[in-house]
Structure 1
Amino acid sequence: MTSPPHHTAYFPLEDVPTEEVDRQEAVYAGLAGAVRDLLDATLTTDAPDEVVAEAGAAVAAVTERLRERQADGATGVKTNGRGRTWSWGNAVIGPRNATAPPLDVVRPPEGGPVRAEVTLGAAHQGEPGILHPGAAVKMLDHLMGVVAADGRRLTMTGTLRVRYRRPTPLGTVSLAGWISGEEGSKVLVRAELSDADGVTVEADGVFVVPRWAR
């Protein structure tokens, strides 16, 4: 049986109409997208010193305005009790998180692997022109969590084993994941990250339904 205190901590209920959640998400996603572009420009610009200094001052001024009203702590995962949940600060899919790729996870209605595709730029680089291995793990772990949850349960990462078959160039990558087995409260998941030439990273994971959510 689910423990109410734990459930509330993970999915606080907010009495907000779905239409209003969608409206706010679009507004904040626009801001995050602009900041994401700014991050890429910051990493790749070769502008003169005075332009960089001017841009820094402008960004600082905007940041000060945004901080005039802000919530305390992380945004977490919320629900309105009408089937609409939102996780705006998530490090992989969060529409308000400018450091998120962001990953758009798609579950085919006819079944089959859960998939996602995203274009990764300078913010996700490790070696020159190569996707940082940690960024690959972050995306695979999230996709595999979606696979394990299967839209009907809450799961958490138990173990994750990753095999790097070759470096992943920056650019467009795709991910696919599927359930390979179930053992009681454990869900076994496999996933792959690929570029245009094939699989670059493979992962196997064990995801666990927490005791309080069984």
Structure 2
Amino acid sequence: MSTDSGGAPYDAALMSAVADLGDALRGLVDASVRTAVPAADLQEVAAAVRTATGRLTAAVRPPGQLPALDDPVRFRRVYNPVAGVGSAFAPPLRLREEPGGVVGEVSFGLAYEGPPGFLHGGMSGLVMDQVLGAATIRAGLWGMTARLELDYRRPVPLDTPVVCRGRVTEAGGRKSVVTGTIALAEAPDRPLVEARAVFVLPREDLRAEYFARVTDASGRHAPPSRPTDATAPGAGE
């Protein structure tokens, strides 16, 4: 067993395998949208992928059951679609603390294309929800997304390093207001996307309702004490 930066234990061999598979799958997804090989090659690869899928589905977990490596209290979510090391969909974005908030650099490949050569606008929303949620957590606050607003100043280019930032600007009661940006890494002070979110901590009765069916990997009821899917900077590594 190993422990993360917060001291939470996890199976290091399983984590390594999950991260390795996630990296391989991200490479496959990227190759699948860039490839120009003949149809016959595509069919052979499709057959191989289906065989691999069969092996992976030999044992699966139901919705609501956390993976063995996840620890919501520590915000370790290995299959998170933005930051999860095991997710084929995640870029993945790795966030770290900076004075007043969080920051992370990432490049988006062709799998995230909207307008030709540029990032899909919906992906900007997904990423900024993650970044702003992480900034809220690092400020010692938490909640669920109640509102997310984005201003698209310029398109985000693909295959280009960009920097994502988030910081809490207001907090009181059950509500937090968080702002952030996406910018080119070479021009971090000129935002391509600006975001503002409101996170609200649900009432206790609603939290009990929302997470009534959540269990840990063994099937034991394990509702998150902090109802968020944001992955803390460094978690899952």
TM bin, normalised by shorter chain, reads: 0.7 to 0.9
- The amino acid that maps onto 1:126 is G
User: Which residue does the alignment assign to 2:106?
Assistant: 118
Q: Deviations over 1:70-107 (max 9, x none)?
A: 22225548439xx7552122111122210011111111
Q: 1:186 aligns with which of 175, 180, 184?
A: 175
Aligned length: 193
Q: Is the 8 A contact 1:181 1:188 kept in 2?
A: yes
SS for the counterpart of 1:57 is helix
> 2 CA distance for matches of 1:51 and 1:91?
29
Q: Is the 8 A contact 2:33 2:110 kept in 1?
A: yes
> 1 CA distance for matches of 2:57 and 2:125?
32
Q: 1:102 aligns with which of 69, 72, 92?
A: 92
SS for the counterpart of 2:95 is strand
User: Which residue does the alignment assign to 2:9?
Assistant: 18
| Larger helix proportion of the pair | 1
Q: Is the 8 A contact 2:101 2:139 kept in 1?
A: no
Identity of aligned residues (%): 32
Do structure 1's residue 160 and structure 2's residue 148 form an aligned pair?
yes
> 1 CA distance for matches of 2:139 and 2:106?
22
User: Which residue does the alignment assign to 2:17?
Assistant: 27
SS for the counterpart of 1:120 is coil
> 1 CA distance for matches of 2:37 and 2:116?
21
**Contiguous gaps of at least 5 residues in structure 1:** 1-16
| Larger strand proportion of the pair | 1
Structure number with greater CO (CA < 8 Å, separation at least 6) is 2
Q: Deviations over 1:124-152 (max 9, x none)?
A: 11011000000011011111011112363
Please identify, of 43-52 and 85-94, the stretch whose mean Cα deviation from structure 2 is larger.
Answer: 85-94
Task: Note closer, same or farther for the CA distance 1:40–1:75 as it changes in structure 2 (3 Å cut).
Answer: farther
Q: Runs of 4 or more off by more than 4 Å in structure 1?
A: 74-77
